[in-house]
Structure 1
Amino acid sequence: MNILLIDDHALFREGLSLLLRAALKDVHTIEAGSCELAFEQLRANAAIDLILLDLGLPGMSGFDGLRQLRHDYPEIPVVVLSSNEDRDSVLRALDAGAMGFVPKSSTSGVLEGAVKVILAKGIYLPATIFLAEPGGAEPRPPAASPAARPSVTCAQLGLTPRQGDVLQLVLQGKPSKTICRDLDLSLSTVKTHTSAALRALNVTTRTQAVIAAGKRGLSFGA
């Protein structure tokens, strides 16, 4: 498992790298202090499995970098790891293609649990995304910690294995054409499976699907 860490603070990168290697087996971390350096690393390392991205970066901003990452490397999931954890920042990151968001204010235990959830192909979002619902709804209690949060499977949502495969790639921000290629499906089939998956989550957009998956602790792990 190769994880690319993009953050302009070397001490934070080193600490996160130590945490990941101590908590997970067979993890190799690659570090970059900017988006520009990250793209150099991506060109040199074809086997990167996950990207953890800070938003406050010198040069190209984290948001611009995120959009370019999703365009140039749609097969690699990107998770934002940032000190900007307000709802607008989280939603903006999800809209740009992030499949999860971990606040830097998290404790090492929460961060470790969140990364494990993400590597198990789940979704982790901060409690702030659940507190201020659109349309003036009543605030909801904070989400449970990653370790305590109950999980649900695609089968429990009434989805077929193939619909679950499509939903997983949709949550990762992959475009329909890429999903067609990855799963060897026609575009019409991908659209049909996507519609079924969104209905199962009672949402209409990918960003809403990521939030709903995070609330329910949706996991695609074996």
Structure 2
Amino acid sequence: MSLETVKIAIADDHPLFRTALIQAAKKSLPDSQIIEADSFESLLKVINDHSDLELIFLDLNMPGNDGFTGLTRIRNAHPDIQIVMVSATEDPHVINKAISLGACGYIPKSAGLDEISNAIDVVLDGETWLPANIDIMEDENSEATEIAEKLSKLTPAQYKVLDMISNGLLNKQIAYEMHIQEPTVKNHVSAILQKLAVNNRTQASTLFQKLKQLEQ
């Protein structure tokens, strides 16, 4: 990987690990521009403020990121941004699910600076980086892959409506939160049910809730 300028967001609520990721990124890409976020909401602001963002390091369990909902939300709205999941969890099942849902890499927090730097090079070269001795198990992650494929069909607005449905909000409340008309919400809901191949809001909510359970 050439030492070009790359804009990177590091989203983690642990300052020490953010520092480690910054050091690793600077080692691999000394001219990179790095922006920090300590919550998922602050990360969303970073994404909105920086349209040329290329790479995100996303903590699996940071505030505001329930399970894999953060990963799928960003992948849905910004498919061109590469996302590397970081976590203290080293369970191969969790790692495989992250890849199945669209992550381009998974870095355990036990990784050293050289290992993280190598992961950055691999990901920016368009390949998937996994810890040593971890293999992608296709059959095991068929459910995660199916969910990812269905969610990828939603527009960002529809994804947001689905998120609110899963939190129990009614159409009127969703309309208020999104500053749109209630008939527009109803149209979104109809499209969501069709794209997810479900019959009602409860089934749609259940499918979305599985994202929060996939790390278990």
- TM-score scaled by length of structure 2: 0.58
Q: Which residue of 2 aligns with 1:167?
A: none
SS of alignment partner, residue 129 of structure 1 = coil
Instruction: Determine if the alignment matches structure 1 residue 51 to structure 2 residue 56.
Output: yes
User: CA separation in 2, counterparts of 1:133 and 1:71?
Assistant: 21
User: CA separation in 1, counterparts of 2:136 and 2:96?
Assistant: 13
Contact 1:2–1:48 (Cα < 8 Å) also in 2: yes
Query: Are residues 99 and 22 of structure 1, via their aligned partners in 2, closer, same or farther at CA, if it must alter by over 3 Å?
Result: closer
Q: Deviations over 1:9-29 (max 9, x none)?
A: 122112321221133132111
Contact 2:106–2:131 (Cα < 8 Å) also in 1: yes
TM-fit CA distance, 1:59: 2.4
User: CA separation in 1, counterparts of 2:41 and 2:15?
Assistant: 16
SS of alignment partner, residue 134 of structure 2 = helix
- TM-score scaled by length of structure 1: 0.56
* Structure 2 alignment gaps of length 5 or more: 1-5, 141-151, 155-216
User: CA separation in 2, counterparts of 1:35 and 1:58?
Assistant: 6
SS of alignment partner, residue 14 of structure 1 = helix
TM-fit CA distance, 1:108: 1.4
User: CA separation in 1, counterparts of 2:17 and 2:62?
Assistant: 13
| Higher CA-based Rg | 2
* Structure 1 alignment gaps of length 5 or more: 136-174, 178-222
Query: Are residues 127 and 109 of structure 1, via their aligned partners in 2, closer, same or farther at CA, if it must alter by over 3 Å?
Result: same
Contact 1:35–1:61 (Cα < 8 Å) also in 2: no
Percent of matched pairs sharing the same residue = 35
SS of alignment partner, residue 68 of structure 2 = helix
Which of 36, 44, 58 in structure 1 is aligned with 2:41? Answer: 36
Q: Which residue of 1 aligns with 2:134?
A: 129
SS of alignment partner, residue 130 of structure 1 = coil
Over the aligned positions, Cα root-mean-square deviation in angstroms equals 2.7
Q: Which residue of 2 aligns with 1:17?
A: 22
Q: Which residue of 1 aligns with 2:196?
A: none
Contact 2:105–2:119 (Cα < 8 Å) also in 1: no
Instruction: Determine if the alignment matches structure 1 residue 88 to structure 2 residue 93.
Output: yes
Query: Are residues 133 and 51 of structure 1, via their aligned partners in 2, closer, same or farther at CA, if it must alter by over 3 Å?
Result: closer
Q: Which residue of 1 aligns with 2:122?
A: 117
User: CA separation in 1, counterparts of 2:9 and 2:98?
Assistant: 18
Contact 1:85–1:128 (Cα < 8 Å) also in 2: no
Equivalences, count? 140
Q: Which residue of 2 aligns with 1:6?
A: 11
Runs of 4+ in 1 over 4 A off after TM superposition: 131-135
Matching of residues 50-199 of structure 1 within 5 Å: 50-61=55-66, 63-130=68-135
